[in-house]
Amino acid sequence: MRQIGLILEDGFQIMGLSALAAFEFANAELGRDGYRMTILSEHGGIVRSTLSAGIETVAFNVMPDTVMVAGELLPGPVSPGLKAYLVRAASEARRVAGVCTGAFVLAEAGLLDGRGATTHWAHARALRERFPAVRVEEDRIFMRDGNIWTSAGMSAAIDLALALIEDDHGAALARNVARRLVVYHRRPGGQSQFSALLELEPRSDRIKRALTYAKEHLRNALSVEELAEAARLSPRQFSRLFRAETGQSPAKAVESLRLEAARAMLEDGSHPLDVVARDTGFADRDRMRRAFLRAYGQPPAGLKRSLRLVGGAPAD
């Protein structure tokens, strides 16, 4: 049985606790206690979240298999005792993970020096400025560099936990746990923290309906006429309303959706480029390559190599 230790400090963000639900459901799927969860703090006792909810914790007198540090809304000072415990954990525990701004705590303890790491996008610049020895990848859901894992904020705690479960027990168990949690199995580590749909921010239900249709039918040509039909508008009305609400043409928005889906498939690592191009509607590799160069400054093959290094697999 593996022990998961989640470290909380006063002022922790309560979404960090969501990671424990994934391990709880993993036990249910396994039909046994594959994981034992322990909530830790430096001195033990009640630790309070930003919502004033109190959580009972135990002191640093154990060393779990996996040590996780929950984030705070605003990264605060790190006590000498916590830093010392994390330095020990880096060599004695099998894995150490920072959830959201928990990356700041790991960096303060020196665990991220020379490593790749991510955090909530709103704090990425501060992490980079305070800890120049850390290679900050601000647009990742989670990352793994050796035995050190970091994740973005909020719901990314679940993605990180699912990745840890997959690391322990394989993709099938992680998929079943994701289903129990009613979440996508699992967002790839290299997937952007920003959703193309959220970035477009359409106001009307009709444009939202058309974009949802596009995301679910990427293999289609997705012409203006097809999208207009999904929105129940004439092509002329649709084009005018779409640009007014999103600031983009329908073709540009569809390309963003295709790029997001293609990048996720590349990060998964098991799909040939021809399959990625076909399934995301680019039709051929050359068209997909041109779109990747415009968006990311590198071709799909180059991005696939970099994602394999820092988006969920051990770095060389």
Q: Which residues are catalytic?
A: 100
Residue 278 near residue 232 (C-beta atoms within 8 A): no
Interatomic CA distance for residues 239 and 245, integer angstroms: 10
Rounded CA Rg of the chain: 21
Nearest to 41 by CA among 104, 105, 126: 105
285-296 vs 300-310: helix crossing angle, rounded to 10: 60
Count of other CB atoms within 10 angstroms of residue 302? 14
Tokens of 155: 């719901």
Interatomic CA distance for residues 174 and 187, integer angstroms: 11
